[in-house]
Amino acid sequence: MDLFNDKQNKEVTSKYKSDIAFSKAISRAFAQELKDLLLRRSKRLLPFDEIKEKLDLWYGKEIGLKSVPLGSIVGSQGRYRNFTRHFLPLDENLRDRWKQIDSAVESGKDLPPVELYKVCNAYFVKDGHHRVSVAKAKKKSFIEAKVFEYNCDLSLDDKTDLEQIAILETYQLFLKNTQLKKTRNPDLHLTVLGGYPILMEHIHRHRFYLMEKKKMEVSIEEASISWFDNIYTPMVFLINKNGIMEKFPHRTKTDFYIWISKYKNRLFQGVLELDETKNMVDSYSKIFSSPVRKILGKFRKFFGIVKY
């Protein structure tokens, strides 16, 4: 004889449904964190206050109620340690509040919209962390939100992690120092830390070359424009024409510019002739697109030792 009949089972299940849902969510969080750790791809929620400071975000305007894709929410103001990147709960202390929200959703109660900060194509939770977590656990696609938008010239989306934020921070500084954003609106994105100081070194060397040639002072802004027009742009044209990027779709044109110029450390004798630049690109392409290099690159990426 069963200890509980069907009616009793349903009553018990209903009473503890939210408790069970939270336990499943926190177990999934642990499993996901362990998997990400083993695969060396751990991504945590991004801290909004840190992002705001690093990217010079100062004024957010309210743009009203929006239906926001839950997959675009990547960070939090103040509670980024309490949830995984997928907003699964990490702390047992979240259980009571999480259960209240889950029960309210199950009973069909109307909940107020969450409040989010929007930076480029990414969103950060200002208020409503548990509502976002419950919605994610129920595999919802969108959530109603009051949105405050910050203007940002850089690229930020649901794939951005803390390393990429550090890259964007140095990109912001690079654009500020060179003023290239005002004159050329360049796309100089990198995928690995340490690249923008190298670009600045290139510009300073090119500036020295221009001053020697012109016998007069050249500003960093003027040197940056000359470098972009006469060195960087012709190199990128040949990189695109060569087709090497098709073999490395996760990299950028600026990545290849740096790698090729380091491979042939002759770039700053002056402005290279087109044929010489083409030979450099072709030579690099043959060596670094070989099967052995690809396997070595995957090995380095897995173990976190990818460098310029």
Locate the domains of the chain by residue range: 6-150, 162-302
Q: Is the pLDDT of residue 235 over 90?
A: no
Give pTM, 2 decimals.
Answer: 0.69
Strands annotated E in 34-162 = 46-47, 60-69, 73-76, 114-119, 122-127, 142-150
Q: Which residue has the higher pLDDT, 107 or 246?
A: 107
Q: Read off the pLDDT of each residue in 86-112 and give the average, rounded to a whole number.
A: 92
Fold topology of 6-150: 3.90.1530
Q: Which pair of tokens denotes residue 93?
A: 């202390």
Q: Quick one: pLDDT at residue 298?
A: 56
Banded pLDDT at 307 (limits 50, 70, 90): very low
How far is the C-alpha of 91 from the C-alpha of 4, rounded, in Å? 33
Q: Quick one: pLDDT at residue 5?
A: 55
> Alpha carbon of 97 to those of 90, 128, 132, 179, 233: distances in Å?
13, 11, 12, 48, 55
Q: Quick one: pLDDT at residue 194?
A: 87
Q: Which residue has the higher pLDDT, 115 or 3?
A: 115
How far is the C-alpha of 139 from the C-alpha of 64, rounded, in Å? 24
Q: Quick one: pLDDT at residue 267?
A: 47
How far is the C-alpha of 257 from the C-alpha of 188, rounded, in Å? 10
Q: Quick one: pLDDT at residue 219?
A: 95
pLDDT in tens, 135-154: 999 999 999 999 999 987 77
How far is the C-alpha of 140 from the C-alpha of 287, rounded, in Å? 47
How far is the C-alpha of 265 from the C-alpha of 259, rounded, in Å? 10
Q: Quick one: pLDDT at residue 260?
A: 78
